[in-house]
Amino acid sequence: MPNREVASIEELKALEGQEVAVGDWFDITQERVNHFADATDDHQWIHVDAERCKTESPFKATIAHGFLTLSLLPALMQRTFRINQKFGMSINYGLNKVRFMNPVRVGSRIRPRMMLLECTPIAGGWQNRWQVTIEIDGQEKPACIAESIGRLYEKAPQ
């Protein structure tokens, strides 16, 4: 169950400029990092070689790919926030800004902090622009800050 729910797009629109929700902690495991490395063919040792990282990495542990952290945004956001109004389709429209500010060590926990920047009508639906800060448990500096854009359509576009 999401941490925050609103009944409608009108209720969401009233939250523009505000922090809307903070998610639960999510574990970053070596298994997940390895699967991502396999899926993207990015097997750089800082992600997959724990023994080498102990001696050669400044982080002293394997770290998640920045793009793994970014790819978790949709799932983390869905777990954190929901609009109960029914829509025909929801899509990820894109990103305006992304910054990877702090590495996520394997074994860490992350969570999203969601601020609604803008909720605007578009043909057949709504476009929502979010600032999502991915926090790392126990770290002052976040892993990532991304401006994410999603679209909600009344019906699937023809």
How many structural domains are present in the chain?
1
- The answer to the question of residue 34 being in a domain is no
Share of the chain above pLDDT 90, in %: 96
Over 80: is that where the pLDDT of 58 sits? Answer: yes
Strand partners, 135: 111
- The answer to the question of residue 38 being in a domain is no
Domain span including residue 147: 4-26+66-153
Q: How much is the pLDDT for 156?
A: 67
Over 80: is that where the pLDDT of 62 sits? Answer: yes
The helix (run of H) or strand (run of E) holding residue 39 is helix 30-40
- Alpha-carbon distance of 16 to 114, in angstroms, equals 11
Average pLDDT over every residue of 50-79: 97
- Alpha-carbon distance of 61 to 9, in angstroms, equals 43
Q: Place 68 in a pLDDT band, splitting at 50, 70 and 90.
A: very high
Q: Place 142 in a pLDDT band, splitting at 50, 70 and 90.
A: very high
- Inter-residue contact 145 to 66 (CB < 8 Å): no
Mode of pairing for the β-strands spanning 19-22 and 109-122 = antiparallel
CATH of the domain at 98: 3.10.129.10
- The answer to the question of residue 39 being in a domain is no
Over 90: is that where the pLDDT of 155 sits? Answer: no
The helix (run of H) or strand (run of E) holding residue 132 is strand 125-136
